[in-house]
Amino acid sequence: MPLRSIGLSLRFVLPLALVLALFAYAIVPVIDGLTMRWFVRELDTRSQLLSNALQDPLIDYVPQNADRKINQLFDRAIKDDRLYALAFCDNAGKLLYRTVTFPEALGCRSPEAPNGIRHTVVNLANANLHVTESPVNTDAGPLGKLILVQDMSFIERRSADTRKYVIVLFAALAIIISLIAALVAHLSWRGWMSSVKNLLRGALVPAGHANMVPANRRREEPPPEMKPLEGDLRNLLYEINRERRSQDDTAYLWTPEKLRALLHEELAGDEVLVISNREPYSHVHGRQGIDVKRPASGLVTAVEPVMRACSGTWIAHGSGDADRETVDRDDRVPVPPANPSYTLRRVWMTQEEEQGYYYGFANEGLWPLCHIAHVRPVFRSSDWDAYVAINQRFADAVVKEARTDDPVVLVQDYHFALLPRMVRDALPKATIITFWHIPWPNPESFGICPWREELLEGLLGSTILGFHTQFHCKNFLETVDRYLESRIEHEVSTISYGGQLTKVEDYPISIAWPDNASLPPVAECRASVRAELGLPPNQLIGIGVDRLDYTKGIIERFQAVEKMLELHPDVIGRFTMVQIAAPTRSTLDEYQNFETRVKALVERINKRFGKPGYQPILLKAEHHGSDEVNRYYRAADVCLVTSLHDGMNLVAKEFIAARDDDRGVLILSQFTGAARELHEALIVNPYHIEQAAEAVHRAVTMPEIEQCERMRSMRDRVKDRNIYRWAGHMLLDAARLRQRERTMSKIRSHSRKSLRRVV
């Protein structure tokens, strides 16, 4: 046992031993007193029984003056070890008969109360005697009294034995409890040290080196007793790490410039191709011509800044009604429109293909399959056929756009689970990084899919397969282990399948840290937003920004607001929940039904708590641009992110980035990946309506100083762990694997040449 563990054990054992010793010291006299009273009561009972047994013979013998018979009676009686002596006194107090053992000093004792039984304890010659005086009565009247003397030395012996047993018992208890305490202290010490080490691994691993930590040694959930300390310890480690990094240099501060340098230094300027379903910019016909729009997508928000830094090619579905009019003959268009920095390559599909591939298999099948949101996934063979065809079309586009035979291909999300294997077959030397932006379910849930093996085989065409959290990585490894014949190395988190190695890693996604200088001041945003909504200047505002999707917990969020108003009626009229909900996948029945339920719930709550000039919930079911959303972020007092199941959820990080005033409170679902990073948020279980309601009330009544402390800590973390860090980690891992493959290729080539020379 380590010395520190022994010292920790002694801290438990010594006070415990001292308390037990003091308790034993105090309890022994109490036990002695109790023992004495119990035995005296027993002697009283024995004396009464003996007196009753001797009454009748004495009534016969005393009037006859039968001295011999009385003496014989007394001698037989004192053969009992405890009965020390007997005597008989007449009514005048004269001692008539006694045994030879009867102490003369006792005499006839007290003549008073001759008709009552008297019990006393007498100390003679350092010996304790129990004396009982019992009257002997006849029909004619009192005859005298019988005196019984019993030896109490056996009580002293038993008391001494009892004291010894008590001391031995307490000593044994002290030893046993001390051993248990020492064992618990030792195990606790090991558990605490393990938790601290996990926190250290998660907080102090340098950027780009997370893959060097074996999978079985990565951070796990801390034990419950460490939960209260986890946030404080994490913040302390984070601050120490920041200070150390700032003292060294700025190498750990991820910026677009550093990402570009990484591509040139580590990847030697290799080309980067991004594949996603949703395009970063779409062209649509407007009133004054063709307008450019950015879709409401967390994926686009995350990946688009990376492409600006990489200057590569983004391959996506051209969904805008003016997209075909803006591309060249190769279906390419430079973006962003104002300052082009990369190329957008559009892929086309018919309405029927989009219905089967996107709305069908991807969003009626895979989306509910991977999100535990209690919606049954739907799988159709026609949808699967469309999914396979579109994946192949995008794979063909990748091959066509690649200028070399070993590009870096970044495949985004669940729409392209088959594409990595297709690209691998066409470009065996390519480095394929697939990032799964949504959760990965457990093996039992994924087993529902009729084409589970095909999906897994497609994903295992990746060189690197990324998820938001280690928990999702673990689920994927277990799923592959369940359904495919493969070799899984948990130590290094790799899967060997069909002669191909796939590295499975967690890369928590983030956002590009914004420059808020172009935004109006927070005070101006607060005033203008309240004026636009017709709210008083001091109105408390909650903000929710989501697609109108059943996984986002919008209904549970509104129910929490309703419960908060019910439990705290003083807030009615002072708090308004503003929900920005961009419509999505509105052609699907499940989403249509969900939108109907949301609107019905809003109407019911507003009818219940609303009054002239006041509605507790304002539902804005329409698309809002990023600048408009940021105005609402800066104007709100609290942001609610209550997803029922989510990969990361970037709304939480966008809200934090917008609050350069260090104010505002974030309420965050425990079922988001962001909850594993943003510990200063109010973490809630969205299914627990009362808990979420109390969190809303706590948020709107939180003192500004507490808001400031929480927000500053989260802002520092999001700023450092930005989108460039996310991309940099993946690309660094890709660079290492590419370098290793090139080295092995040179070794193999050299070996073949050497073999030919020998031959």
Q: Residue 112: its pLDDT value, please?
A: 45
DSSP state of 614: B
Residue 626 predicted with pLDDT over 90: no
Residue 76 vs residue 566, higher pLDDT: 566
Q: Residue 394: its pLDDT value, please?
A: 97
Question: What is the SS3 assignment for 178?
Answer: helix
Residue 703 predicted with pLDDT over 90: yes
Q: Residue 638: its pLDDT value, please?
A: 97
Residue 490 predicted with pLDDT over 90: no
Is 172 contained in some domain?
A: no
Asked if residues 605 and 562 have their Cβ atoms less than 8 Å apart, the reply is: yes
Residue 54: how many other CB atoms lie within 10 Å: 20
Q: What DSSP string describes 392-433?
A: HHHHHHHHHH-SSSS-EEEEESGGGSSHHHHHHHH-TT-EEE
Residue 73 vs residue 554, higher pLDDT: 554
Q: Residue 115: its pLDDT value, please?
A: 44
Based on the domain organization, do 265 and 344 belong to the same domain?
yes
Based on the domain organization, do 404 and 340 belong to the same domain?
yes
Angle separating helix axes 626-635 and 651-658, nearest 10 degrees:
70
Is 19 contained in some domain?
A: yes
Residue 390 predicted with pLDDT over 60: yes
Residue 203 predicted with pLDDT over 50: no
Strongest mean pLDDT among 6-15, 218-227, 281-290, 429-438: 429-438
Residue 508 predicted with pLDDT over 50: yes
Residue 299 vs residue 57, higher pLDDT: 57
Q: Residue 109: its pLDDT value, please?
A: 63
pLDDT band for position 244 (cuts 50, 70, 90): very low
Residue 515: how many other CB atoms lie within 10 Å: 8
Is 232 contained in some domain?
A: no
Give the mean model confidence (pLDDT) for residues 263-291: 85
Q: Residue 258: its pLDDT value, please?
A: 81
Residue 378 predicted with pLDDT over 90: yes
Residue 71 predicted with pLDDT over 80: yes
Based on the domain organization, do 276 and 151 belong to the same domain?
no
Give the mean model confidence (pLDDT) for residues 103-116: 61
Is 728 contained in some domain?
A: no
Residue 346 CA to residue 319 CA, distance in Å, equals: 9
Based on the domain organization, do 671 and 524 belong to the same domain?
yes
Cα distances from 117 to residues 133, 136, 340, in angstroms, run 6, 10, 117
Q: Give the rounded distance of the alpha carbon of 130 from its chain centre.
A: 69
CATH number at residue 10: 3.30.450.20
Residue 442 backbone zone (phi > 0: left; psi -120 to 50: alpha; other: beta): beta
Cα distances from 732 to residues 138, 473, 648, in angstroms, run 115, 19, 22
Q: Is the dihedral of CA 536, 542, 543, 547 positive or negative?
A: negative
* R_g of the chain, CA atoms, integer Å: 43
Q: What b/e readout covers 574-591, taking b as 16+ CB neighbours within 10 angstroms?
A: ebbbbbbbbebbeebebb
Weakest mean pLDDT among 232-236, 289-293, 478-482, 504-508: 232-236
Q: Residue 227: its pLDDT value, please?
A: 56
Question: What is the SS3 assignment for 306?
Answer: helix
Question: What is the SS3 assignment for 104?
Answer: coil
Q: Residue 231: its pLDDT value, please?
A: 59
Q: Residue 243: its pLDDT value, please?
A: 46
pLDDT tens digits, 589-625: 888 999 999 999 999 999 999 999 899 999 998 888 8
Task: Residue 81: name the closest of 158, 133, 154, 160 by CA.
Answer: 154
pLDDT band for position 12 (cuts 50, 70, 90): low
Based on the domain organization, do 431 and 528 belong to the same domain?
no
Residue 237 CA to residue 507 CA, distance in Å, equals: 20
Q: How many residues does the chain have?
A: 759
Residue 506 vs residue 302, higher pLDDT: 506
DSSP state of 218: S
Give the mean model confidence (pLDDT) for residues 321-331: 93
Q: How many structural domains is the chain composed of?
A: 3
Q: What DSSP string describes 451-484?
A: THHHHHHHHTT-SEEEESSHHHHHHHHHHHHHHS
pLDDT band for position 189 (cuts 50, 70, 90): low
Tokens representing 123? 């100390």
Residue 679 vs residue 105, higher pLDDT: 679
Residue 47 CA to residue 83 CA, distance in Å, equals: 9
Residue 54 CA to residue 50 CA, distance in Å, equals: 6
Tokens representing 133? 């005086």
Residue 126 backbone zone (phi > 0: left; psi -120 to 50: alpha; other: beta): left
Q: Residue 234: its pLDDT value, please?
A: 59
CATH number at residue 436: 3.40.50.2000
pLDDT tens digits, 19-49: 777 777 777 777 777 777 777 777 778 778 8
Please report where in the chains the tokens 């008590």 appear, as a residue: 166
Cα distances from 320 to residues 70, 90, 293, 347, 751, in angstroms, run 129, 128, 9, 12, 54
Question: What is the SS3 assignment for 85?
Answer: strand
Cα distances from 697 to residues 541, 546, 567, 613, 633, in angstroms, run 12, 21, 9, 22, 18
Is 243 contained in some domain?
A: no
Based on the domain organization, do 110 and 49 belong to the same domain?
yes
Residue 8 predicted with pLDDT over 70: no
Tokens representing 384? 């699967």
Q: Which residues contact 414 (CB under 8 A, 6 or more apart)?
A: 362, 366, 367, 370, 436, 437, 438
What are the φ and ψ backbone dihedral angles of 290, each rounded to 5 degrees? Answer: -95, 125
pLDDT band for position 13 (cuts 50, 70, 90): low
Q: Which of 506, 532, 548 is the last residue of a domain?
A: 506
Q: Which of 121, 141, 159 is the last residue of a domain?
A: 159
Residue 186 vs residue 346, higher pLDDT: 346
Q: Residue 250: its pLDDT value, please?
A: 42
Q: What angle do CA 715, 717, 723 make, to 5 degrees?
A: 100
Residue 212 predicted with pLDDT over 50: no
282-286 and 289-293 beta bridge pairing:
antiparallel
Give the mean model confidence (pLDDT) for residues 385-394: 97
Task: Residue 560: name the closest of 392, 696, 382 by CA.
Answer: 696
Is 42 contained in some domain?
A: yes
Based on the domain organization, do 495 and 626 belong to the same domain?
no
User: Environment class of residue 332 by beta-carbon count within 10 Å: exposed (0-12), middle (13-18) or buried (19+)?
Assistant: middle
Residue 128 predicted with pLDDT over 80: no
Based on the domain organization, do 300 and 345 belong to the same domain?
yes
Is 673 contained in some domain?
A: yes
Q: Residue 211: its pLDDT value, please?
A: 40
Based on the domain organization, do 570 and 629 belong to the same domain?
yes
Based on the domain organization, do 454 and 431 belong to the same domain?
yes
Task: Residue 673: name the closest of 512, 471, 519, 525 by CA.
Answer: 471
Based on the domain organization, do 501 and 530 belong to the same domain?
no
pLDDT band for position 146 (cuts 50, 70, 90): confident
Angle separating helix axes 589-609 and 554-567, nearest 10 degrees:
10
Q: CA dihedral in degrees (315, 319, 325, 329; nearest 10)? A: 30
Give the mean model confidence (pLDDT) for residues 552-563: 96
Q: Residue 79: its pLDDT value, please?
A: 78
Strongest mean pLDDT among 97-101, 507-511, 684-688, 731-735: 684-688
Average pLDDT, the chain: 83
Range of the domain at 418: 256-506
pLDDT band for position 736 (cuts 50, 70, 90): confident
Residue 655 CA to residue 629 CA, distance in Å, equals: 9
Residue 269 vs residue 650, higher pLDDT: 650
Residue 242 predicted with pLDDT over 50: no
Residue 65 CA to residue 144 CA, distance in Å, equals: 13
Is 289 contained in some domain?
A: yes
Based on the domain organization, do 466 and 529 belong to the same domain?
no
